[in-house]
Amino acid sequence: MKILLLSAILFFFTPVSQTGNPKFPGSEITFQKANREHNPANPYYIIISKKTYELKVYDNQGWYATYPCVFGSNDLRDKYMEGDKRTPEGDFKVILKKNSGKWAYELLLNYPNQESFVKFKERKSEGVIPRNAKIGGGIAIHATRPQEEWTVDYYQNWTDGCISLKYKEAADLYSYIPVGTPVKIVP
């Protein structure tokens, strides 16, 4: 009975945006289903929060799963250029699934995309990054090595800008997320 009452209280006091979508815990970011293309064959979309170190999967019914994750460098700002080890922010899609020897279960994202190039060119023209800088690429959601899952437990950012999950959790995500799945990476 106490659990039922607590659940009801949490439901009624969950903050929502003006569109009626739930707010991401601890931030002012709202989930935008409207940005997602309707695809009955793929009900999933992913929202990754750098602030909470979480990858959340949603389907047409709402929240589906949450996985703890880590990123590139400890500098959690948006990716500026190749070699900065930062994880990019923005709207992406899974463009390739591969089971590689190095990172096992890997979901490659379409970084850089048009949005990424616009930000990159603006930063170059403003002198924020060097004129000879390159945008980089190869950003993916992938597993840790099986013996290095502790990096996720202790929030040890270690990748070159990718999003890394524990080995077994990356295998689980890989098992049901299809190519074309939208991915939003937020601060």
pLDDT digits (tens, 9 = 90+) for 19-39: 333 333 333 333 333 344 556
Verdict on whether the full-model pTM lies above 0.85: no
- For the residues of the chain, what is the DSSP string, one character each? -HHHHHHHHHHHT--B-TTSPBBPTTSS-B--GGGSPP-TT---EEEEETTTTEEEEEETTEEEEEEE-B-SSS--SPP-STTS-PPP-EEEEEEEEEEETTTEEEEEE--S-HHHHHHHHHHHHTTSS-TT-------EEEEPPGGGTHHHHTT---SSS-EEE-HHHHHHHHHHPPTT-EEEEE-
Flag the least confident range among 76-85, 117-126, 138-147: 138-147
What rounded mean pLDDT belongs to the chain?
83
Whole-number pLDDT of residue 37: 53
> In which residue ranges of the chain is CATH 2.40.440.10 found?
31-186
Q: Which CATH superfamily is domain 31-186 in?
A: L,D-transpeptidase catalytic domain-like (2.40.440.10)
- List, for residues 58-82, the tens digit of each pLDDT value: 999 999 999 999 999 999 999 999 9
| Peptide bond preceding 178 in cis form (omega within 30 of 0) | no
- Quote the pLDDT of residue 39: 65
Rounded CA Rg of the chain: 17
Position 146 scores a pLDDT of 80
Percent of the chain beyond pLDDT 90? 72
Query: Mean pLDDT, to the nearest integer, of 122-146?
Result: 94
The pLDDT tens digits for 89-100 are: 999 999 999 987
Kindly report the backbone phi and psi dihedral angles of residue 34, in degrees, each rounded to the nearest multiple of 5, phi listed first.
-65, -30
